[in-house]
């Protein structure tokens, strides 16, 4: 079941300020089982933490991984008028077509990882406003986009990977990160699909100027997301928040997905505790943004594609963690001598 | 088909000095396909390199991943008499029993990754000699152990993960690394299954003393492996060398598997080019050893279990690379505008 539609940015704010905390009993059950398994304590490292995290945010032990969802949200951006991307805006819709036809990287990754892909195109013929001039979205547009993600998450999902497609959206990601955490446009701008040299400097200055323009109006994380974000970013934020309520742990993809999550983190402490960073992308701002958010990525493979690809590769690690935690024999079951026995 | 048994350490040396180089035509075919796929050039990062590596060392394009093998070699070590491990030697055979019963981490990981596990116990009732006193193996013992791995690799495998189980074998790994690359025992000794404090200092001094004792006799990589290695390390070396000849790319597991590979690398330039490091373990010497060997690990998850577990988790990344390279649509097929079009 999905959650009832939210009516306003204030409703969204209220939800984020009242998110459920961790499930202490599921967490305790995972932590109790782990040291009984036939391995030196702690020797599976991060896999052990992932197993506990899964149980904690699924609010149930043992954790399940039968239903893994990958949601890719797509949007177009008025700011592309400023020449911030190497590809034309038409590519967003063309790539959505490629997703629907099964030809993109994310299709192959979902098949390989046993995950169900859903693609959500958000008014691709109606780009957001050019945020170098005016807010990317008015409140109605923002809330509508947020609800697309919010509404996409169902309580029967065991894990959700969140990603995007949108020519121009690394510019939005950099503007959000800059607005959230300061620094300069240069600190947060990167090549995206392939800009460099003067074009990259120009992209950085567009980002700096946009943040300066909207500074006074960006009074909290949600207002940052509305002013310099985009529809697919608002939708990702909606999915991330809904997942917390629905008991669905989330794997964030790259720079743009993390930038969509950032505003939630600054609205309420611990609001991203049900999220894990699937990877750190080659986009230089991503590593910095993950550090600011206290997220430690599972993978570092120089990927920078988006479309949930890094999160999808990380599913394999989460499956590994789940398989070990749920399937291994205990010392007692296997008749293996424990170190302390 | 497996390869004919080798008769002497000189035969092994001859094989390593005459390994086949990369398959240039498979490599070229992979490199030609990659930029046609529907993504910004290079945006899948390491996944693109893995796809090319697979084709190059399978000596065929497109690469295949139908048959993924995980080989775990197990041995016991006389050096455990020196009190270098937190667990008793009996645990080696107990864990082999656990592998055979399906209760260990590697069983769950192989199931999750669609890989076939084979376990090779090597004379567990007959530990190698205590190498703090005399060479771990005489030539006959060494060649016999090498042949177990050498003989385990078949040309119908598409990928081989190499790992081990053996109480005391991080001491052997550290001694090999120390003998190959200098430094001190402290540089290469780590907690293994869980020694610390004075026990760890003692382990380091056992390693230093052993390398000093055998220094003059360890005239090349293979002699290092014979003097301060162990049966499961010799067998892993055999599997790694056979895989090169059989057209089977190899995923190395942790510190001990990498230490088994190191002696091959110093015998002939490029001799490990068909190998990838599945992960860097928490055992501190592993990171240093990978650097010395020029191997860049796929994963860094604080794992330190051995039994091929890190390599097995890395299978998921290799499957992801394979799936994208072989399954994605080209720009032409998908009707997506390329950046340069």
Taking an 8 Å cut-off on Cβ atoms, the answer to whether A320 and B316 are in contact is yes
The backbone torsions φ and ψ at residue B71, rounded to the nearest 5 degrees and listed phi first, read -110, 125
> Taking CB atoms and an 8 Å cut-off, how many pairs form between chains A and B?
201
Catalytic residue from among B90, B123, B307, B333 = B307
Tell me the shortest Cα–Cα distance from A99 to chain B, in angstroms. Answer: 10
**Cβ-count burial A156-195 (b if 16+ within 10 Å, e if not):** ebbbbbbbbbbbbbbbbbbbbbbbbbebebbbbbbbbbbb
Using a CB-CB distance cutoff of 8 angstroms, which residues of chain A are in contact with residue B42? Answer: 304
pLDDT tens, position by position, A211-259: 999 999 999 999 999 999 999 999 999 999 999 999 999 999 999 999 9
3-state helix, strand, coil in chain B (%, to 5): 55, 10, 40
How many angstroms separate the CA atoms of B229 and B135, rounded? 9
DSSP letter assigned to residue A296: -
Do B253 and B164 meet the contact criterion of CB atoms below 8 Å apart? yes
As beta bridge partners, residue A119 has: A72
Return the pLDDT at A339. Answer: 60
How many angstroms separate the CA atoms of B13 and B238, rounded? 11
Active site residue B291: no
How many angstroms separate the CA atoms of B73 and A70, rounded? 38
Domain-wise residue ranges, chain B: 9-334
Give the ipTM of the model, two decimals please: 0.96
Chosen CATH of A9-334 out of 3.30.70.580, 3.50.50.60, 3.40.50.10210, 3.30.70.1450: 3.40.50.10210
How many angstroms separate the CA atoms of A158 and B207, rounded? 47
Tell me the shortest Cα–Cα distance from A284 to chain B, in angstroms. Answer: 13
Using a CB-CB distance cutoff of 8 angstroms, which residues of chain B are in contact with residue A113? Answer: 316, 320
DSSP string, A36-70: GBSS-TTTTTHHHHHHHHHHHHHTSSS---S-EEE
Q: What is the pTM of this model?
A: 0.97
Using a CB-CB distance cutoff of 8 angstroms, which residues of chain A are in contact with residue B193? Answer: 40, 43, 339
How many angstroms separate the CA atoms of B105 and B307, rounded? 8
Sequence-separated (6 or more) residues with CB below 8 Å from residue B17: B267, B268
Mutation target for B interface from A35, A87, A108, A337: give the one with most B CBs within 10 A: A108
* CA geometry: angle B165, B166, B171, nearest 5 deg: 125
Residue-wise pLDDT tens for chain A (341 aa)? Answer: 789 999 999 999 999 999 999 999 999 999 999 999 999 989 999 999 999 999 999 999 999 999 999 999 999 999 999 999 888 999 999 999 999 999 999 999 999 999 999 999 999 999 999 999 999 999 999 999 999 999 999 999 999 999 999 999 999 999 999 999 999 999 999 988 888 999 999 999 999 999 999 999 999 999 999 999 999 999 999 999 999 999 999 999 999 999 999 999 999 999 999 999 999 999 999 999 999 999 999 999 999 999 999 999 999 999 999 999 999 999 999 988 776 44
Using a CB-CB distance cutoff of 8 angstroms, which residues of chain A are in contact with residue B47? Answer: 301, 303, 313
Do B270 and B18 meet the contact criterion of CB atoms below 8 Å apart? no
Sequence-separated (6 or more) residues with CB below 8 Å from residue B9: B139, B142, B143, B222, B223, B226
Sequence-separated (6 or more) residues with CB below 8 Å from residue A332: A36
Q: Give me A108's structure tokens.
A: 């192959």
DSSP letter assigned to residue B242: H
Give the length of chain B: 341
Do A151 and A244 meet the contact criterion of CB atoms below 8 Å apart? no
Return the pLDDT at A209. Answer: 97
Pick the closest to residue B306 from B167, B145, B102 (CA basis).
Answer: B167
Using a CB-CB distance cutoff of 8 angstroms, which residues of chain B are in contact with residue A334? Answer: 94, 97-98, 101, 103-104
Residue B323 touches partner A, C-beta closer than 8 Å: yes
Tell me the shortest Cα–Cα distance from A323 to chain B, in angstroms. Answer: 5
Tell me the shortest Cα–Cα distance from B297 to chain A, in angstroms. Answer: 10
Mutation target for B interface from A42, A65, A92, A112: give the one with most B CBs within 10 A: A112
How many angstroms separate the CA atoms of B161 and B306, rounded? 12
Residues of A with catalytic annotation?
307
Using a CB-CB distance cutoff of 8 angstroms, which residues of chain B are in contact with residue A313? Answer: 47, 316-317, 320
How many angstroms separate the CA atoms of A167 and A91, rounded? 7
Residue B339 reports pLDDT greater than 70: no
Question: For A43, which of B45, B303, B336 is closest by C-beta distance?
Answer: B303
The mean-pLDDT minimum among A8-17, B193-202, B220-229 falls in B193-202
Residue B178 reports pLDDT greater than 50: yes
Tell me the shortest Cα–Cα distance from B7 to chain A, in angstroms. Answer: 37
How many angstroms separate the CA atoms of A51 and B174, rounded? 31
Using a CB-CB distance cutoff of 8 angstroms, which residues of chain A are in contact with residue B94? Answer: 334-337
Do A334 and A38 meet the contact criterion of CB atoms below 8 Å apart? yes
How many angstroms separate the CA atoms of A84 and B287, rounded? 39
Q: Please state the rounded mean pLDDT for residues B146-169.
A: 98
Residue window 4-63, chain A: list those with CB within 8 Å of chain B: 37-47
Residue A324 touches partner B, C-beta closer than 8 Å: yes
Mutation target for B interface from A313, A317, A337, A341: give the one with most B CBs within 10 A: A313
Taking an 8 Å cut-off on Cβ atoms, the answer to whether A320 and B313 are in contact is yes
């Amino acid at each position: 079941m999905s959650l009832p539609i939210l009516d306003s940015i204030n409703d969204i704010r209220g939800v984020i300020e009242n998110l459920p905390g961790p499930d202490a009993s599921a967490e305790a059950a995972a932590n109790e089982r782990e040291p009984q398994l036939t391995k030196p304590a702690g020797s599976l490292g991060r896999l052990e933490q992932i197993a506990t995290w899964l149980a904690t945010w699924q609010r149930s032990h043992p954790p399940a991984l039968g239903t893994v969802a990958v949601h890719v949200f797509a949007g177009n951006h008025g700011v592309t008028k400023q020449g911030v991307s190497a590809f034309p805006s038409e590519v967003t819709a063309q790539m959505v077509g490629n997703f629907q036809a099964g030809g993109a990287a994310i299709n192959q990754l979902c098949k390989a990882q046993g995950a169900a892909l859903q693609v959500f195109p958000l008014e691709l013929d109606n780009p957001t406003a050019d945020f170098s001039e005016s807010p990317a979205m008015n409140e109605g547009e923002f809330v509508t986009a947020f609800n697309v993600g919010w509404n996409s998450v169902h309580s029967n999902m065991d894990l959700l990977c969140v990603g995007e497609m949108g020519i121009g959206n690394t510019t939005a990601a950099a503007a959000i990160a800059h607005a959230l955490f300061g620094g300069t446009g240069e600190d947060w701008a990167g090549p995206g699909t392939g800009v460099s040299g003067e074009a990259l400097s120009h992209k950085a200055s567009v980002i700096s100027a946009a943040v300066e323009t909207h500074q006074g109006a960006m009074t909290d994380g949600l207002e940052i997301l509305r002013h310099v974000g985009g529809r697919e970013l608002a939708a990702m934020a909606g999915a991330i928040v809904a997942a917390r309520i629905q008991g669905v742990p989330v794997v964030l993809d790259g720079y743009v997905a993390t930038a969509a999550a950032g505003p939630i983190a600054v609205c309420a402490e611990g609001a991203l505790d049900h999220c894990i960073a699937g990877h750190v992308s080659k986009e230089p701002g991503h590593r910095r943004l993950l550090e600011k958010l206290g997220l430690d990525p599972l993978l570092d493979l120089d990927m920078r594609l988006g479309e949930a690809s890094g999160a999808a590769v990380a599913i394999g690690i989460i499956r590994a963690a789940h398989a070990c935690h749920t399937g291994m024999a205990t010392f007692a079951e296997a008749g293996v001598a424990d170190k302390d026995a």
